[in-house]
A and B are shown apart, each in its own frame.
Chain A
Amino acid sequence: MKLVSRKHTEKFTARFFKACGFGAGSVLIALSLMLVWNAAAFFIHVKPYDFVSKTQWDPTGSPSAYGMLSMLISTMLVAVGAMLIAIPLGIGTAAFLAEYAGRKLKNMLKPAIEMLAAIPSVAIGFLGIVVISPGLAGLTGRSNGLNALNGAILLSVMALPTIITVAQDAIDGIPISYKEASFGIGASRWQTLTQVTIPAAAPGILAAIMLGVGRAIGETMTVLMATGNAIALPHGFFDAVRTMTATIAIEMGEVPFQTTHYYALFSVAILLFIITLVINMIGEYFVGRFKKFEIR
């Protein structure tokens, strides 16, 4: 009797866990179907080409205009700016942690970086308003410093922990024999780092950058609070901008459900979704490559 019930439990639990696994695996599918479903309702009214190629975004005007190019460019501008700051700092820090810092220093810096990663984006956005904005305003002589540069600085702070952690893993994964071979031919530590270690860790570092870019493009609250919210084609880092994420966040709260404007925001989301998905997949691909390297 006991044995029979154990057999039943075994069978039932195996099915239950399988259902959970497939359930979790299908969340992404459900999410993309939801986006496609709602975006389709928009693209009945507006040509996809117009949507991505026009810069005029005026859903409440008459006639309404749904060109999201300026948002797309703003998103890219802020993300590129963030990377210009975060990539050198992140790789430099990763190299320092992996090659230079002693155990004690590492044990202090690691939690610091984890702490930086834990700070909520809204708090970082807040600091963009109260700390960086006045600073930038003083620098440029404008009334405030809520612009693309502000957002880029904040996003770099948010992307740094990801970049540092992944890049450090990649550098740590390089076999010591590589470095010893380099020292053996008389190269200095610095030459070894820049000409042997970092090139060898390149796939992992690329993965780190990709995951950082993904984070920067998808981030909402910091850019919403710190970039000045102006939908226009930006001419430089000192212009106020509004990214795709910020547009969704601002307008979704005010738009009546099931209108063209409502569906338009889902269309912005689907584009954002595809961009981040592709970037993350590229990152995943490189992570996979340096993981293989590690095993060998």
Chain B
Amino acid sequence: MGRRISETSLEEMATYCKGELGRYDKKTDEVTFELDDTNLPYLWSVEGIARLLRGILGVQRGLQEIKVSRGKYSVEVDLSVSGVRPFIAAFVAKGKKVDSQFIKQLVQLQEKFCDGYGRKRQKVSIGLYSYKRIKFPVSYKAARPESVRFVPLGFSEEMDLSEIIERHPKGKDYGWILKDFISYPVLVDGNGSVLSFPPIINSDSLGKVEEGDSDIFFEVTGTDEPSVILAANIFAYALSERGFELFTVEVKYPDRKLVCPVLRSETMRITRDQVRGLLGLDLKDSELKKLLERFGYSFNDYVVSIPPYRADIMHPFDVIEDVAIAYGFWNIPSKELESYSSGCSLPVVGFIDRVREIVIGLGYQELMSPILSNKAVLYDRMCTKDVGTVEIDNYMSELFSVVRTWLTPMNMEVLSKNKHVDFPQMIFEQGLVTERDCEKIADYEKISIVSSHSGADFTEAKQVLEYLMRQLGISFEIREAELGFLIPGRAAEVFVSRRRIGFLGEISPQVLENWGIEMPVAALELNVSALFDVSVKND
């Protein structure tokens, strides 16, 4: 960076990178930044962060250019890769001995880039090689898996490409990327030696950079050309700033040629109105220029040149955000909203609160459970059948593999976990459930009210139902019902305007046994959304 900074200003420095200071280790002088922005991969390297902060601190100004000499190297791209992994960019960096610290940082940038921005290597993967072992031109082609054999990095035996996918750890990790293809991409040098098998693994003989090497061949392949070019640019800047001398590599596609790295900077026009409109700041041209230059842009009569290591700028607002960051958020005076608006909650919320208030008045303790549950809890233990549940395809844990359809099982679970707590246990939960009727999915607010003590019975549940409906002014009827989880003859369904909206009764001893509950339980569950619809109609 060319500047000493204090430990306390590290925190401020991190904010310019849209991150937080993770920690600073005094002993090793190592700083960790935790970065938020997944769209600014150039900051995933010490060189990128230093470059940004040099601008912020005024050590350098404006768009930084790097020197690249014309190289006599080429990569020949065979037509066969066009359907598999069509794009490649490359360059050569010479003249600087690498040490272990440098290799570590280089690998960190490589891995973070390929993993995040490169979509776990699918979109972009990067290879670094010791230049002196490679004979140019390098060719990039697709080959039948069994036709190419080489020793992959970290192994001592030769394998063909399918064997690598099956047996090499990286093959197991990234083989899925190639599963739909019959031929796989390979990079081969002028001697016919394999450099690598992108995006899986490099060769053991050519595919590594070691301490003491001073010349590097960089290559990046992928399925999205702008991302491939961006990766090459980010590495070119990083290596150039590390003191390497860069040389171009000519990529020869069957139909065109591309000299890499492509350090072209795009331009974008912004307006003063846009700056004023978005930030509420009236900046003079000279101020605007200064701020943009601190952030590594160049600014010329409202035309902004974007550094080649950034691909996140889509809209003038992206540039203007950087103006605000360079200006310092804390320097921007705040303004209060002035227009009047009256607040109101969802119509159902007021109704729900009335219902809860009535039930709490009866002495019930409210609970709140996760909405995700599982079929064993919802149906098996409750001795009842699934009549339509939203299930998760890719659940992490079977415990949370479906969206709940009713709430009484949640209360049963609570009772089962509190067998040694004072009775009576009177609990309720009010919350959302989701029901699925074939292809139709709907959310409902429900309430389940449960009472457990030695005298808990149907009468108690019915008393609660009648009290609640009386308070809400809703008329209802109950009909005897056979429900697997309630004792026959002590079970009823609740109807309002001929619509079935819930049930009440004594939980069957079989269900209690399934939950390991040793006290009688009386339960009442109602669809609050349905009650609300009725109450609205009544009004």
Do A and B make up one complex? no
